[in-house]
């Protein structure tokens, strides 16, 4: 059965810097790569990984090269889509050697596996924190879902179209999502919408489908639902998602790092 790793929001910064002056995002992404590789013998084989946006913090060539250097040891192939912190054209140049990277236009692509399709969409709006899907991207989505012919589909993008209650993030979510909701809700097969951006593991309905937001690799947007709450980060443990086809689309949330165990529950029985 297909197994796909979703990594979200690495926010790699230039060498010698911490993200927001607080977070060593490079070390966190390296730990994520190590964690994925370590899980392979027990859970694998994994078919691929994808990064659901905000690969970098400022969208510079130095950051993308650092990102690629950190991801190099990953034992499975990976692809990526941009988030609001990415620069689409710089990202395109820095991944021009990859066959999944479009030469022009938005960074959209589709990966096909045995009985499952992953359709990845570019929600980047240059210079803006919020997301948007162009008519061309929605046409692409509609055509690819028609071609899926009822097979299970995962649709991936950076910005979620749902409200989370975290006000500073909700104003940055996907804008103008009615056509997206109509396309997804009309699909006559198993479907999951997966996103990043909020740095928290959140599940909510979007029309007739499940929308799942992935945790960040290195830090979380603070869980503060008060009106007027400041925009803050918390150094909670990072994580990633594992999507697999198993009597439908099943998603596991896996923490980044090494932890004691496994221990037998009843070693003497």
Query: Which residue pairs from 36-40 have beta carbons closer than 8 angstroms and sit at least 24 positions apart in sequence?
Result: 36/5, 36/74, 36/75, 36/76, 36/240, 37/73, 37/74, 37/75, 38/258, 39/254, 40/75, 40/76
Structure pTM?
0.95
Kindly report, residue by residue over 5-27, the tens digit of the pLDDT.
Answer: 999 999 999 999 999 999 999 99
Kindly report, residue by residue over 47-64, the tens digit of the pLDDT.
Answer: 999 999 999 999 999 999
pLDDT per residue as tens, the chain (269 positions): 889 999 999 999 999 999 999 999 999 999 999 999 999 999 888 999 999 999 999 999 999 999 999 999 999 999 999 999 999 999 999 999 999 999 999 999 999 998 999 999 999 999 999 999 999 999 999 999 999 999 999 999 999 999 999 999 999 999 999 999 999 999 999 999 999 999 999 999 999 999 999 999 999 999 999 988 999 999 999 999 999 998 899 999 999 999 999 999 998 76
d(CA 262, CA 265): 9
Kindly report, residue by residue over 194-224, the tens digit of the pLDDT.
Answer: 999 999 999 999 999 999 999 999 999 999 9
Distances (CA, A) of 90 to 29, 74, 117: 20, 23, 27
Beta strand 233-234 pairing with 48-52:
unpaired
């Amino acid at each position: 059965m297909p197994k796909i790793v979703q990594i979200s929001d690495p926010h790699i910064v230039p060498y010698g810097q911490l993200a927001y002056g607080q977070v060593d995002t490079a070390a966190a992404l390296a730990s994520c790569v190590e964690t994925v590789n370590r899980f392979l013998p027990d859970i694998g084989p994994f078919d691929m990984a994808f990064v659901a946006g905000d690969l970098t913090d400022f969208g510079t060539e130095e950051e993308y090269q650092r990102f690629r250097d950190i991801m190099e040891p990953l034992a499975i192939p990976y692809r990526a889509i941009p988030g609001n912190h990415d620069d689409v054209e710089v990202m395109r140049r820095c991944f021009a050697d990859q066959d999944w990277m479009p030469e022009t236009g938005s960074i959209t692509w589709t990966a096909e596996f045995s009985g499952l399709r992953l359709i990845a969409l570019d929600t980047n709006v240059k210079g803006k924190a919020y997301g948007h899907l162009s008519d061309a991207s929605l046409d692409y989505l509609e055509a690819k879902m028609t071609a899926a012919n009822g097979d299970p589909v995962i649709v991936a993008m950076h910005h979620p179209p749902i409200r989370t209650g975290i006000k500073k993030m909700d104003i940055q979510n996907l804008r103008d999502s009615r056509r997206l909701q109509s396309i997804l809700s009309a699909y006559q097969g198993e479907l999951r919408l997966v996103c990043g951006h909020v740095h928290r593991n959140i599940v909510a309905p979007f029309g007739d489908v499940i929308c799942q937001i992935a945790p960040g690799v290195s830090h979380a947007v603070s869980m503060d639902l008060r009106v007027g709450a400041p925009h803050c980060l918390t150094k909670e443990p990072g994580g990633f998602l594992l999507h697999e086809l198993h009597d439908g689309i099943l998603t596991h949330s896996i923490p980044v790092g090494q932890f004691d165990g496994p221990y037998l529950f009843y070693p003497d029985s």
